[in-house]
Amino acid sequence: MALSPYSQKSQTLQQFLAQIIISILISSFYLVVSISRVNESIAKIDLVYMSLAVFIFSFTAISLGQLFVSISKDVKVVNGVNSAFTLIMAFSSGVFLPMKFLPQALINVSKFMPQYYFVKFLEEINFEKFLLFVASQVVFIVFYTLLGIFIKRYKLKEVA
Q: What is the pLDDT of residue 1?
A: 45
DSSP, residue by residue, the chain: ---SSS-HHHHHHHHHHHHHHHHHHHHHHHHHHHHHHS-TTS-HHHHHHHHHHHHHHHHHHHHHHHHHHHH-S-HHHHHHHHHHHHHHHHHHTTSSS-GGGS-HHHHHHHTTSHHHHHHHHHHS--HHHHHHHHHHHHHHHHHHHHHHHHHHHHHHHHH-
Single pTM value for the model? 0.79
pLDDT digits (tens), the chain, 160 positions: 456 677 767 777 787 788 889 889 988 998 888 778 776 677 778 888 988 999 999 999 888 888 888 887 777 887 788 888 888 888 888 778 888 888 888 888 888 889 889 988 988 888 999 999 999 999 999 999 899 888 888 877 776 5
